[in-house]
Structure formats: structure tokens, C-alpha cells
Structure 1
């Protein structure tokens, strides 16, 4: 496959979804190919290339986890130890539950922590310590180990653990343990490091459907461990090559053992009806696609989106980066699916929902919420819709602009017990989730993108 073909696909897909800039990377047969299209910003445009820096948001979690696994190999961290051993300031409303929050449970999102705390603890070196202090009194959404629920807060806590064990800031620790040994010279956390290089800005749709630059450009420092890395498609291909390899950097330096890399890709907890994967390893999402096992992680920032997918048994990887929301998600997904089918003959399809059933619809409609967002399930009598919004009180209390809410999305229930669903149209088409029930059969919550929303009101 030629650069021209990949560039044509990147350009056609970007135009289809109205994305200003896209970068694509493919690792196949030991060779790397990068292609790009468009511009970094509609206000201050520069051409996107393989060295353009994008925010990769939650893909950062794989870097945090890999840095931590170096400390595990060195005997400085025990995966099954309570996190309080390494972060003594960590506390919850339930002291007994806090003692059950282990390092491993943070790494595979089974600690019981909610999605995140929308707080700004500043840009100083105490940002993570202050964030962890605000977890005191926090209620868990489930007992530790009971279920998986995707948690940014959990990875921020892991970042503080890295600080305490190494005596460095989180950013310095990841640089010394991962970025520098692997030669990831285009990967940064600090805005000062990014602003002197070519970088993409995010874009969001205004109410009239036109794109505008997304502000703020980057999240708070306390969210760096779970989502703060800024990097290029070239560095992400080098990252993929390392995780598909034997634990050595391209320089020959041993960074991790091959056994530890394999261990990170082994199933630790199953996921139900999740588009993120069938299971979680250590930070990585594991999913079988058309009979082939894949390992990956995605990321969503303010108007910037990233997708990284590895196919270990084929020594293959694909990266897609885009800089506009909400359609950066389907843009990246389209590119990844094209690469899988073109290079490997692997076809990734969305599941088909069952016809609309009014009786089942009545069971699930209503209002749901978590700490940061509301989730409304409705019906017009012919189909189901869902709408996810950031809570108004959080918008009002936030000093900076938050990502926009989106119009309701149609979704359909899937065959089986009728509690699993798939979004059928819009930017989040193909996203899957499920409704949870108590022992009496009453719907008590809904999962989307690995996050739990508890039911607060049924539709009368």
C-alpha cells in the first residue's frame, strides 16, 4: 500500500466528516507509513504532517501504566498492594473500601471510583496531590473489584503514586521511565514544550453548525496522568512498535521484559457490551475483531481525538488523529477500519439492533447521572434516543469553556436479554453500552463508553 493511497483515504475521510486536520500512521510488515491531510487550525493554519503534535487524551493512560510497570519490575511497586501504601494521603468516605483500592484495580478500572472530579487544582507541582486530597469523602460507585467503570480519577491517583515512589513530578517520572528511553522526542505534557513546535488545535461545532476553535486548548495539570500527553503520529508508531516488541527500545536498551509487555495485554476483567473492548488488560482494551485479537486505546480531548490499535499476532498497528468534534470519532474509526480491512482482511462491523419494542422502551426511559454528566433516555414512540450533557452547575462553576453537548442520538436495543444497546446514528454511531438491573429486575443504571450513570428518575 502506497503513501498516496493512505493520503487519499485520509483526505477523503476528513472531507466527509468536516475535519480540518488528520494524521494517520500504519505499521505493517515491519515498515512504517504515515499520511496526513489538512491544517492544524482554521484560525492559524499550518499543514498537518507526521510531526504535528496532537492531544491524544486517554491514550496517555497506556504511557502512565507502562511507566508504572517499570517500577513493578524493579520491585518498587506491588500491583496487589493497597494504593495507600504509595499514596498515604489517599482516603475515601468508606475507610474499609479505600483499603481495597489496589494498584491493579486502578489500572483496570475496577477500583469503584467514578469517572472524574471536575476540579482545577492549578498548574503547580502540587496539582496531583491536591487532586487526591479532594477524593477524601468521595463515594464509590461500586465495591472495589466488583465491576469495571472507566475512571480518569483513578489514573490521576496513579500519577500521584508515580510521584511519591520516584520523588519526581508525574511528568518527569514518565519522561525518565518511558519517553526518554524510547526516544519519544515528540511527546510532551507542558504547553511551553508544545508551543515552540507545530501543533494541532481542537475544533467544535457552533450552534449554527460551523466550526470554531476549541478553548481551552488543554485540560488541567491534574488530569495529565489520564489524558495530558501531546504527541505526534510518528511517536505513536514508535510507541506501538515498542509494545509489539520484546521490551527493548530501538536503541537496544532494555526498558521492560517481553513478559511484562505480554502481561499488560492479558485479560484482567471482562467488559459487557462495550465498544471499547471485550475486556481490559493493564490499561489496554482488548477486543476480538473478525476473529482477530486486537489491543488498543482511544482518546477524546476538547475537539481532538485519537485512536491507537495494535494487532499483536500480525505485528500490525494503526494510528488515527483528528482535530474536530464530534465527528473526529467516526473519522478515526473509519480510517482504522479501512486499515484493518486493507492490510489484514479484517472487517469490523457494528451489531444490528432489534426492532423497536414499546414495552422494553418503557423499562429504560428516564434520567440518569454521574458526578459530571446527565444521561437522558427518551422515545418518540418509534425509536429510542439518548442525550448526554455536562451538568449545568458544573458549567456555571467552571472558569473555562467546556466541550459542547450534543443533540440526542438514536439507539437500538440488541438481541439477547434486551439490556444491551448500540447507537445507530450520529458521531457516536457504533458505541455500545448496557442497562443494569437490581435483583428485582428494575433498571438502576446505564453504561456508556465504560462509564456508569445511575438512574435518578424513571419516565412517568
Structure 2
């Protein structure tokens, strides 16, 4: 990696962080067999410390890739079968739909085809029984589709996957992932417990207050039952190491065999198509798969209450980029996207273009105007006769049930790995 390349990355990261008004960011790139880092800003506007490559950020739903990889280790050890019903490993599983409870497979959880709604907002405590208590409440989670029929992103499904890890290993979820993934893969700056995080340098979250100025967002972490789907705190260096592991042959940097190359490849192969999604064309096993400018990308994003993470790899080019930021509700997301796009174009010549909008057609626009309910939000499409707008609002009952977890200023729930634009313009969808 040349000095000019390092300088270009540092300058872009610094300027872009300033443009979006983000207190602290960390970026890492793996290209041409070398690592390059760029960190900018501070951990907190109240108690500022410089962000460095080992500073911990909340990585949100990127955690799902760690959960899935831990389960793939058990698959290779023949302790779990992907096509087996979840009840083989979680016999206590109950759902409102008994047939679905009996049919959902491990793979259905890991590629979001279980047909489960996004999640439950409950309080199961911070004890070692948090996931067990969550599973006991799953009869209250809506079944929105028969198992295996379509992809529907579900935090609850991954929390249930975490319970499989507990029952099969006899450990807590956090202990199981540390034993199966963190330790063998050499991830020394990845933690779940706030008590582990607080003894190291870490970023707090920020959201704009009523006056528009950024303020520290509280609380800092999600509840423990959400750890399998989004509870990890990690550093940009650890996430780049994680990306490199998934680009490799299943061995850690130490040479220790963690997974077979075949298992890693299987995780990156399409298992279900995604339709009408800006996040990808298909799901692998936990990974979003998306073709960009003629190359296949494999990645996952994550968001928390005022923090965002993005991890993207291009396996055929042995390339990875990681971007972390500590400001919401949208600034961090926009920063991460800008960094990923810049890195793809700068280092690979791959251009991630926005789709070309169709000309406005009023009659076609009227066909889609209306309100649409999804699990946690109501989407409202409207027209003023010249353009379409889409608004996304968190449902009142969801917000009321999660006041301690949802910042008032956010346009998406903290568990979401995907953006929900509050106001955007578009043309009618293509026929």
C-alpha cells in the first residue's frame, strides 16, 4: 500500500466525516494483500478520546454473521444439521402457528426464510436465561409467511438461532460464540457484555437533540436477548480480520483451521432471492449477496441507537472494506455508504451507481399511492402530481413498547440493518 493511497483514504474519510458531522469514524480496507486504516474524530462529544483502529463500536446486525459462522462450525462437527427442524435443538420452541414451529429449519433462521416477523420487544432481563425466556415468549411473534416460502428479515429468527447455540453447546450464547469464533479466529477486540466494553476505549452513540446539536444517545446497548442478532461491540481492526477470514480458506491468521473452505463458500452462495431490495439480490447464509458493476459483493450492515457499521467483501478480487460511525439517525449510514462506494471505485474501479429513475407517470403513480404496513412500520406513498414521495413511520405500538430502545429522532428501529427513508422522491416502479 503506497503512502499516497493511505493519504487519499485518510483525506477522504476525514472530509466525509466532517461533511456529515459525525464525531468519530473508523475505516479499514484490505486490498492488494495489505491493510490500510483511516480513523477520524472522537469517541464521545462529552468525554472525547481519539478514535483508533482498536476502538470499539456497536456493529449491530453484522453480529448475525458471527452467529451464523458459529453455527456452521457445529454443522461441520455434525452437531447441527442445517436442514433439521429447529425443534431438534430447541424442543421448547412454541409459536402461534404450530405447524410452522414444527417445520422451521436451522437454515430458515440463517437465511431469513422462517416467515417470522422482525422481533419481539420484551424485557427478559440480563441474566444467563435471557434467551431462554425470549424463546418462551415466541408464541407472541407473528408468523407472516409459511416457512421457506420467501425471505423476510428477522431479528427474532437470529435470536432463536442463538438459543440453538446455547442448547447444543451447554454454554451461554456469548460463551459459545467466543469459543467457536472469537478465540480461534483471533478476534481480540470483540465483546458483548458492557462490563467488558467499558474497560476499553469505545464509542458512544449520538443523535441530534431538539436543537439539532448532537448529543450522547442513551441507553448504550440493546437488551441481552438481542445479542445473537445485533449485540456485538467490535473494532474496525477485528472486523477487517473477520472479513479476511471469510475471504480465506477457513484458517485463521494463526494457521488454525476454523472452518473448511467449502463451508465458507457455502455461506456465500445464494439460498433465496431478494426482490425489490436495495440491499442485495439474494441471501446466502446470513450474508447479503449483491452484484455491483459486474462483480459479486458479499456483506452485511448494522445499526444501533446512533451507530452504524458496514462490512463488504468482493471475494473474486480479495477485497474488503469496513466502515464504522457513531452518529445517527442518518448521518452515519450516509457516511458508511459514501466510504464503501469510494473504496470500490478507487481501489477496484467498481462503480456502484444509483438506479436511473423512470419518468414520472401520473396514472401509474396513482396505482401505488397509499399506505402499506410492514412488521414495525407504516410506509406511506403519496404524489403531488409531479413526483412520488415515500414516508416511513415506526408504528405507535412499537415505539410505545420500546421507549428505552428507540431514540425519538431516528427514522428506523435500532435493530434494522437496512435504511428506512423518512422522505424520498422516486418514480413509479417498473412494470
SS of the residue 2:62 aligns to: helix
Structure 1 equivalent of residue 381 of structure 2: 377
Instruction: Please report the RMSD computed on the Cα atoms of aligned residues, expressed in angstroms.
Output: 1.4
Structure 2 equivalent of residue 156 of structure 1: 159
Structure 1 residue 363 and structure 2 residue 363: aligned? no
- Does the 8 Å contact 1:117/1:372 carry over to 2? no
Residue range with higher mean Cα deviation, 354-363 or 70-79: 354-363
Q: Tell me by how many angstroms 1:399 deviates.
A: 5.3
Q: Tell me by how many angstroms 1:100 deviates.
A: 1.8
Gaps of at least 5 residues in structure 1 are 418-460
Structure 2 equivalent of residue 216 of structure 1: 219
- 1:334-390 deviation digits (Å, cap 9, x = unpaired): 101111111111111110111222222322222233343322222333222222222
SS of the residue 1:114 aligns to: coil
1:35-114 equivalence runs, <5 A:
35-114=38-117
SS of the residue 1:222 aligns to: helix
Residue range with higher mean Cα deviation, 257-266 or 357-366: 357-366
Q: 1:317 aligns with which of 315, 320, 329?
A: 320
Q: Tell me by how many angstroms 1:57 deviates.
A: 0.2
- Does the 8 Å contact 2:205/2:216 carry over to 1? yes
SS of the residue 1:136 aligns to: helix
Q: Tell me by how many angstroms 1:415 deviates.
A: 5.8
Structure 1 residue 300 and structure 2 residue 314: aligned? no
Q: Tell me by how many angstroms 1:6 deviates.
A: 1.2
CA distance in 2, matches of 1:288, 1:95: 38
1:247-396 equivalence runs, <5 A:
247-325=250-328, 326-396=330-400
CA distance in 2, matches of 1:274, 1:394: 23
CA distance in 2, matches of 1:267, 1:347: 22
1:161-240 equivalence runs, <5 A:
161-240=164-243
TM-score for the superposition, normalised by structure 2: 0.94
SS of the residue 1:299 aligns to: strand
- Does the 8 Å contact 1:114/1:370 carry over to 2? no
Q: 2:424 aligns with which of 381, 396, 410?
A: 410
CA distance in 2, matches of 1:206, 1:411: 26
TM-score for the superposition, normalised by structure 1: 0.88
Q: Tell me by how many angstroms 1:191 deviates.
A: 0.2
CA distance in 1, matches of 2:117, 2:400: 21
Residue range with higher mean Cα deviation, 269-278 or 154-163: 269-278
SS of the residue 1:297 aligns to: strand
Gaps of at least 5 residues in structure 2 are 412-420
Q: Tell me by how many angstroms 1:227 deviates.
A: 0.3
- Does the 8 Å contact 2:120/2:141 carry over to 1? no
- Does the 8 Å contact 1:26/1:318 carry over to 2? yes
Q: Tell me by how many angstroms 1:93 deviates.
A: 1.6
CA distance in 2, matches of 1:142, 1:279: 18
Q: Tell me by how many angstroms 1:401 deviates.
A: 4.8
CA distance in 2, matches of 1:398, 1:415: 33
- 1:409-437 deviation digits (Å, cap 9, x = unpaired): 123136631xxxxxxxxxxxxxxxxxxxx
Change (3 A) 1:208 1:366: farther
Q: Tell me by how many angstroms 1:55 deviates.
A: 0.4
SS of the residue 2:190 aligns to: coil
CA distance in 2, matches of 1:327, 1:132: 34
Structure 1 equivalent of residue 416 of structure 2: none
Residue range with higher mean Cα deviation, 121-130 or 184-193: 121-130
- Does the 8 Å contact 1:309/1:318 carry over to 2? yes
SS of the residue 1:282 aligns to: coil
How many residues end up aligned between the 2 structures? 417
- Does the 8 Å contact 1:91/1:137 carry over to 2? no
Structure 2 equivalent of residue 18 of structure 1: 21
CA distance in 2, matches of 1:13, 1:122: 39
Q: Tell me by how many angstroms 1:51 deviates.
A: 0.7
